[in-house]
Structure 1
Amino acid sequence: MNGLLIDDDELYARTLQRSLARRGIDTRIALNASEALELARQQPPDFALVDLKLGESSGLQLIEPLRELREDMRILLVTGYASVATAVESIKRGADDYLPKPASLTSILRALGVEKSEAAEPEDTMTPLHRLEWEHIQQALAETDGNISAAARLLGMHRRSLQRKLLKRPGPERRNID
């Protein structure tokens, strides 16, 4: 199985690429829409994992051209800005699945049909709230080029509150053993 990871966050894409490689899945990375279409034309992948927000463009615009290149390609739209409206729009345009970021490897493999639903562990179904908050803060910092004051304004909080939250970086998730 080979895939195409289309995401403007190179660190996220490279991390996901390594995780998939450990499962025997080869992937290529495209950081923008034009690069994605060029790579897909050269060798149409079995699946494409498309980020909704690709810099100034939208991953929604890639769904139809990718589908035209290969009818049976699995197209997964992932986003840190999940909403019902974009989920519906992505499915209407031909995406096979819609996953909120950060999507776990298990949920991606399940959406690709590589892993069965029954094999998923309960903690893979939901991301803890503190982890989502951390990811949201990191997104705001990335959008403001690391400016704490601007990120705090964007998040609607006081700068000192944001600084305190940044000191409380979430650690590894704990597993509940029943």
Structure 2
Amino acid sequence: MTDLSAEVSALPDRSLLVLDDDAPLRTRLGRALEQRGFEPTLVGSVQEAIAAVKVKAPAYAVLDMRLEDGSGLKVVEAVRDARPDAKIIMLTGYGNIATAVQAVKAGAVDYLSKPADADDVVRALLARGDAPAPPDNPMSADRVRWEHIQRVYELCNHNVSETARRLNMHRRTLQRILAKRAPR
């Protein structure tokens, strides 16, 4: 942490926008990034984020992809318009290749899956064009599968039959999976 904190302290502008609709996560991440030297502004919606960007365009941004009032991609565009040199990281619990491509095309420099460690976020923000190193503790394949099932279940308004149909699995199998705890 000290090496990263020293690098962050050397930055000319440490302003950082953190957008996530999960308040506890947003607060924890904001606090951790502040301890590492950033000056975070924490917001919980697309509208709040766009308003914050109009007040002061941040040098860095960590944005959630899917929010209750829209997509974090709108905020990527707002930050890019206000400050083309800003480094933007997309953060999401439901990572897939299509949304990663969308985020990068919109102007994000990296795309991290939740739960992302604060040090991973800082490394991604400080990366200088090199491909980032693989994470020390990536999600297991079981966890990725479970996250995907949860997302589809949520998109189907918690309808087990519809979720099973979309995932092409038996309804009872899905019910057993949903009854278990999330894998690590």
Tell me the alpha carbon deviations over residues 132-175 of structure 1, each in whole angstroms, 9 at most, x when there is no partner. 1222233234334444444333433233212222343245x5xx
Structure having greater relative contact order (Cα 8 Å, sep ≥ 6): 2
Map of 1:47 onto structure 2: 60
- TM-score of the pair, normalised by structure 1: 0.69
Q: What is the 5 A alignment of 1:95-114?
A: 95-113=108-126
Assess, with a 3 A threshold, how the Cα gap between structure 1 residues 23 and 134 changes in structure 2: closer, same or farther.
Answer: farther
Aligned to 2:6: none
Q: Structure 2: 5+ residue runs without aligned partners?
A: 1-13
SS in 1 for 2:57: coil
TM-score, length-scaled by structure 2:
0.67
2:62 is paired with a residue whose SS is strand
One-letter amino acid of the counterpart of residue 152, structure 2: A
- For residues 88 and 149 of structure 1, do their structure 2 counterparts lie closer, same or farther at Cα, with a shift above 3 Å needed? closer
Matched, 1:129 2:111: no
Q: Which shows bigger deviation, 150-159 or 126-135?
A: 150-159
> Residues 151 and 106 of structure 1: is their aligned pair in 2 closer, same or farther, counting only changes over 3 Å?
farther
Distance in 1 separating the partners of 2:23 and 2:165: 26
Residue correspondence of structure 1 range 1-178 to structure 2 within 5 A:
1-10=14-23, 12-21=25-34, 23-55=36-68, 57-79=70-92, 80-83=94-97, 85-113=98-126, 123-124=136-137, 126-170=138-182, 173=184
Secondary structure class of the residue paired with 2:89: strand
CA 1:40/1:18 → structure 2, altered by over 3 Å: closer, same or farther? same
